[in-house]
Chains A and B, each alone.
Chain A
């Protein structure tokens, strides 16, 4: 008998005008792990929210049923669902930073489940919370329980949320992209914990993810969603290795993988000649000093003795876990930050020595693309103004014709130029950001996780765009990412950062297939794999 049986579920937003689910079926047996995969907008999160009875108020359930343990959850109402949530079905949410209350100690947030459902007295709940944190992988759980979320790392926070999800001994856990905000190595640890704990307690798991590698590695059954419908389902080996449906095939094709090769420009064929050295970094070191009045000064070495070169037309990828110093290097390269020691030579000139007009010319030749396209664009500007702004700032031709030309270069429909960032999708915003970056005609683009916040297929499009722009404009790229599968697709050479130092550097083919350093090997082995795949 099945534990959860969703039948013909139809949900829509905005009073029925925006359909989200168009008759979805989903079956989960006791103790089974089912992965639901799909792009964002495919309806997988809406499905999870409906099962938990946590749809936003703008959503309406139009039809279908959600049978759980023989009861129709849709007929229970808010009061009835409150008894189910946390006790019979619990949630592991997506972003561990936003999903924990910042002003409550984590132990109390785990204990809350027990208190809400009357499973333990105040004192017992506190003790049980420490035990649960221990099981979730905190050796020093007693101390951790009294700490606040900001005192824990991202991976630890997600383990707190897993402990809270397990606290009520539920029959089913719904994990909504539980690790998409985490580094590959941390992701692996957290997923290991989650799958181990659900297996040992016989809890069923619905794993919602856009990462096909995770689905392939962790699930017994894979459900592929697209546009509010289930388009294909079955065992992962079958679905992901020999997909039937075109949408599944596209997902599999777009998924970055370590087995793929570097993308080549669709315009100019294999990468054009790599020229002389453009950027030469020597002994780069950055030490941050906390300057809190009256407190002991702390010195944190973010970047230590880093050296690399980037040639014209070449892509160097900087990879590493978060906190490895990647973003600090990016900020030093574009001189948003001054180095404590070492030199950065750009086209032969020492960055630290640039002043006035020379510095302005340098700023024009080096541009930065940020991770989150929403937060780096002024929400009150239209796309047109956003692209025209750097042109005006450098006194270049900012005519509508030039802005349209740039929009076409980044494949942004000209009709969207009158919209503001809030009215554009993530991929479209990132195209605007890239158009801004290439507008002043730079020689070097520093891209800080430019595709990490995007969907797989959008990510693939943005990566292709960067490769095409590089070929047609002869750009050099410094590409920062924690995602080695993405790096595989764009990098000529790779430098691996660990705790501010470069531990390995070399051609991408060599570093990503035959790594020397144990840290590189650890990073590589943490990347979830799809079952065997032909190189794209």
Chain B
């Protein structure tokens, strides 16, 4: 019951956040230097006439007062209509949905890799002894500090050109997913392993770990039943922000590996002043952040029963 109420309250609080995101994207686009109409008409061919400019302005609704533009934008956005791409004339929504699956695939696979290896390295670093332990403690720092574009080039060199295990470019099949996903996942693996490892070490010093050992529990039982769940809260927060970082880092990965995706779409939209597409992408990212944060909050509730408890000083 309490959990249902919690979810409803969090969902309700997502509405103003989304309105704020849309408003910000509208304001930012107003502040971007340059006139979109000029940009759109500045392609090849003869210089546009004032009439042509006027017509385009009217078509885009740019001749209306600012507040009308704003509420029109909000109303359209709520209906899922972000207009047409200035560059291609394609509806923004279909431009985004054409590349979104490829990006989702990549981000999800990268996320799974980050979680499996990040948690795995952290846990192994607590249980292992000798050189393996040192390796588990050293590797995360290396992963975090290697730049993505360099990793991508090395991976292509080794696994595509030398070993020819995976294709270097494109989005054909699972094989093409591996190298970009690894590129994206490496820094995330490093951060997750580092943060979770530190939390696990801190929890190891807690009194309830001694209690568990005094019951006769072995190392693995103490780690998996007692330490991991208590240590996971900072890591869950981190995974939430990691999802956002994956989308940002996807720009590099998609460019280097020549994959279609949101990252490349955004990059093109920025270089071409394609404002409707950018607004669509920003709105989508806003929704994604809200959803991810909701999931993160739900994870808190599942992991720690104290989260929904009333906190009243005695």
- Identify the A interface with B (CB < 8 A): 52, 54, 82-87, 90-91, 93-95, 98-104, 109, 112-113, 116-117, 148, 150-151, 161, 164, 168, 288, 290, 292-295, 298, 300, 302, 322-323, 328
Contacts and interface: CB of A to CB of B under 8 A. Distances in A.
Contacts of A102: 208, 230, 304-306
A134 to B, nearest CB: 20
The 5 closest A-B pairs by CB, nearest first: A86-B216, A98-B207, A91-B214, A86-B215, A85-B216
B216 A323 contact: no
24 contacts: A82-B217, A82-B218, A86-B215, A86-B216, A90-B214, A93-B211, A98-B206, A98-B207, A99-B210, A100-B208, A101-B226, A102-B230, A103-B304, A109-B211, A112-B212, A113-B215, A150-B306, A151-B309, A164-B215, A168-B216, A288-B313, A294-B9, A298-B312, A323-B314
B306 A85 contact: no
Contact of B208 (A101, A116, A151): A101
Nearest to B227: A101
Given A288-B312, A298-B310, A82 B216 contact: yes
Contacts of A288: 312-313
Contacts of B8: 294
Contacts of A148: 305-306
**From A87, A101, A290, residue with most partner B Cβ within 10 Å:** A101
Nearest to B312: A290
Contact of A103 (B213, B214, B229, B313): B229
Given A103-B230, A103-B303, A150-B309, A87 B211 contact: no
A24 B138 CA distance: 42
A109 B157 CA distance: 53
Given A93-B207, A150-B305, A290 B310 contact: yes
B5 interface: yes
A101 B211 CA distance: 9
Contacts of A100: 208, 211
B5 A295 contact: yes
Contacts of B229: 103-104
Contact of B305 (A103, A113, A300): A103
B208 A112 contact: no
Given A288-B312, A322-B314, 14 more contacts: A54-B213, A82-B218, A90-B215, A93-B210, A99-B208, A101-B208, A101-B230, A104-B229, A113-B215, A116-B215, A161-B211, A168-B215, A288-B313, A295-B5
B216 A83 contact: yes
B230 A300 contact: no
B202 to A, nearest CB: 13
B58 interface: no
Nearest to B214: A91
Contacts of B64: none
A117 B214 CA distance: 12
B221 interface: yes
A206 B211 CA distance: 17
Interface in B202-239: 206-208, 210-218, 221, 225-226, 229-230
Nearest to A174: B214
Given A290-B310, A294-B5, A294-B9, A52 B212 contact: no
Contacts of A150: 305-306, 309
B309 A52 contact: no
Q: Please report whether the interface of chain B is mostly helix, strand, loop or mixed according to DSSP.
A: helix
Contact of B210 (A54, A116, A151): A54
B157 to A, nearest CB: 44
Given A98-B206, A99-B208, A294-B9, A86 B306 contact: no
Which residue, B5, B212, B229, B306, has most C-beta atoms of chain A within 10 A? B212
B119 to A, nearest CB: 17
A292 B215 contact: no
A29 B305 CA distance: 43
Contact of A293 (B9, B208, B210): B9
A116 B214 CA distance: 11
Contacts of A293: 9
Contacts of A290: 310, 312
B186 to A, nearest CB: 31
A52 B216 CA distance: 10
A148 to B, nearest CB: 5
A98 B214 contact: no
Contact of A112 (B217, B230, B305): B217
A117 B207 contact: no
B303 A52 contact: no
Given A101-B230, A148-B306, A52 B214 contact: yes
Contacts of B213: 54, 85
A431 B305 CA distance: 39
Given A93-B211, A100-B208, A295-B5, A116 B216 contact: yes
Contacts of B306: 102-103, 148, 150
A298 B309 CA distance: 13
A102 B229 CA distance: 10
A117 B216 contact: yes
B153 to A, nearest CB: 43
Contacts of B305: 102-103, 148, 150
Nearest to A327: B314
Contact of B215 (A95, A112, A295, A302): A112
A295 B312 contact: no
B182 to A, nearest CB: 33
Contacts of A94: 207
A90 B214 CA distance: 6
Interface string B186-214: 00000000000000000000111011111
For A94, A99, A300, the residue with the greatest tally of chain B CB atoms inside 10 Å of its CB is A99
A98 B313 CA distance: 19
A168 to B, nearest CB: 8
Contact of A99 (B5, B211, B304): B211
Interface string B124-157: 0000000000000000000000000000000000
B132 to A, nearest CB: 18
A87 B313 CA distance: 39
Contacts of B215: 85-86, 90, 112-113, 116, 164, 168
Nearest to B8: A294
Contacts of A93: 207, 210-211, 214
B152 to A, nearest CB: 40
A98 B209 CA distance: 9
Nearest to B226: A101
B2 to A, nearest CB: 9
A26 to B, nearest CB: 18
A101 B216 contact: no
Nearest to B306: A150
B308 to A, nearest CB: 9
A180 B208 CA distance: 17
Interface in B262-314: 303-306, 309-310, 312-314
Given A103-B305, A288-B313, A294-B9, A98 B217 contact: no
A217 B207 CA distance: 28
A88 to B, nearest CB: 9
Contacts of A298: 310, 312
Give the residue among A82, A83, A148, A288 with the most B Cβ atoms within 10 A. A82
Contacts of A103: 229-230, 303-306
Nearest to B208: A101
Nearest to B305: A148
Contact of A300 (B221, B226, B312): B312
